[in-house]
Amino acid sequence: MPGSFKTQAVVLRSIRYGEADRVLHLYSAARGRIGAIAKGSRKPRTRFGGRLEPFFRLDMVLHEGRGDLATVTGVHTVDAYPNLRSSGPALAAAARGCDAVLRLLDSSEANPAAYNLLCRYLALLDGQEDDGGALETDGAAGLATALAFRLKLALSAGFAPELQTCSRCGEADGLTAFSGAAGGVVCGACERDGFEISAEAHRFMLDALGRPLAQAPVATNGALRMAERAITTTLEHHAHVQLRAAA
Ligand SMILES: [Zn+2]
C-alpha cells in the first residue's frame, strides 16, 4: 500500500548511491527490516544533516511507493551514540552487531525483542548503562557481551540453541557436547556429529540468556570461543546464515 508511515529505526548500513543519494539498510521498530533511499542526502546543505550514518537511532518518516525502496522524507535523531563513535573497539563491536542483525533478521515483520536488544547493545557500547567504569568493549568482557548479544538475537529470531536437555534424545544429564545440526547440547550417546563443550561454556550460554545484556557473565576465553562456535554452527544449520567472528 503506497503512502507515508512513521517508525523508529537504527541505521545498519549506509551506502553512497549515484551523485548525491544514500541507500540505507534500516532495522525498524514498526516494520523490521526496511530498505530506503535518502535523496539528496549527500548534498552540502541537506536537511538530513549527518544523521544517516550507521548506528544512528532515528525517528523517521518514510514514503512507500511502487519500488523496493522506501523514500526517506523526515528524520529526527533519537540517539547518536556519540561515545561509541569515539572508540575503535566499540565501533567495531557495533559494526559486528549490526552485521548480525542484517544477516539474521530480514523479515519486514516487527520484532520488538530484536529491536530493543539492538538499541540496548548500542547504548551499552556507548557507555550509557555502565554501573561504574565504562563497558569493556575488547578483551574477554567485550567478547562475553558480544556473544550474549548474539544469543539473545538468535532467541529473538527463533533460533536459540537448546541448552536444557539433549537436543536429540531429551536426556538431562551428561551433556558434554554440542551439535549445530541438532541445534543444541547433546549427551555422550548422541555426540556423533557434535564437538566437545565444557561445563563452563554451557553455563555461560545458560546465564547469558537468563540475564540482562549489561550483566553478561564472565568466562575464560576458551569457554567463550566454544560458546561462539556453538552459536555460529546453530545459526549456520538452522537459519542458514554465516556470522562474522564475534571479536
Ligand atoms: Zn542424547
Q: What is the pLDDT of residues 80-132, one digit of tens each?
A: 999 999 999 999 999 999 999 999 999 999 999 999 999 999 999 999 876 54
Tell me how far the alpha carbon of residue 166 lies from the centroid of ligand 1, in angstroms. 5
The residue type found at 110 is A
Of the candidates 103, 71, 79, 66, the residue with the CA atom closest to the CA atom of residue 8: 79
Tell me how far the alpha carbon of residue 153 lies from the centroid of ligand 1, in angstroms. 26
For β-strands 32-38 and 70-79, DSSP reports them as parallel
Q: What is the percentage of the chain residues whose pLDDT exceeds 90? A: 84
| Distance, CA of 129 to CA of 98 (rounded, Å) | 19
Which pLDDT value is given to residue 1?
61
| Distance, CA of 160 to CA of 60 (rounded, Å) | 31
| Distance, CA of 30 to CA of 33 (rounded, Å) | 9
Mean pLDDT computed over 34-39: 96
Tell me how far the alpha carbon of residue 161 lies from the centroid of ligand 1, in angstroms. 15
Tell me how far the alpha carbon of residue 175 lies from the centroid of ligand 1, in angstroms. 8
Mean pLDDT computed over 57-84: 95
Tell me how far the alpha carbon of residue 211 lies from the centroid of ligand 1, in angstroms. 27
Tell me how far the alpha carbon of residue 188 lies from the centroid of ligand 1, in angstroms. 7
Tell me how far the alpha carbon of residue 217 lies from the centroid of ligand 1, in angstroms. 27
Tell me how far the alpha carbon of residue 172 lies from the centroid of ligand 1, in angstroms. 8
pTM of the model: 0.94
Which pLDDT value is given to residue 130?
62
Tell me how far the alpha carbon of residue 170 lies from the centroid of ligand 1, in angstroms. 6
Tell me how far the alpha carbon of residue 165 lies from the centroid of ligand 1, in angstroms. 8
CA angle 42, 82, 77 (to 5 degrees): 55
Tell me how far the alpha carbon of residue 185 lies from the centroid of ligand 1, in angstroms. 9
CA angle 141, 145, 147 (to 5 degrees): 115
Tell me how far the alpha carbon of residue 88 lies from the centroid of ligand 1, in angstroms. 43
| Distance, CA of 177 to CA of 235 (rounded, Å) | 17
How far does CA 156 lie from the centroid of its chain? 10
Q: Which phi and psi (to 5°) does residue 95 adopt? A: -65, -40
Tell me how far the alpha carbon of residue 154 lies from the centroid of ligand 1, in angstroms. 23
Tell me how far the alpha carbon of residue 241 lies from the centroid of ligand 1, in angstroms. 26
Tell me how far the alpha carbon of residue 21 lies from the centroid of ligand 1, in angstroms. 54
133-183 pLDDT tens trace: 445 666 788 999 999 999 999 999 999 999 999 999 999 999 999 999 999
194-237 pLDDT tens trace: 999 999 999 999 999 999 999 999 999 999 999 999 999 999 99
Contacts of 185 (CB under 8 A, 6+ apart): 161, 162, 163, 165, 166, 167, 175, 177, 178, 179, 197, 202
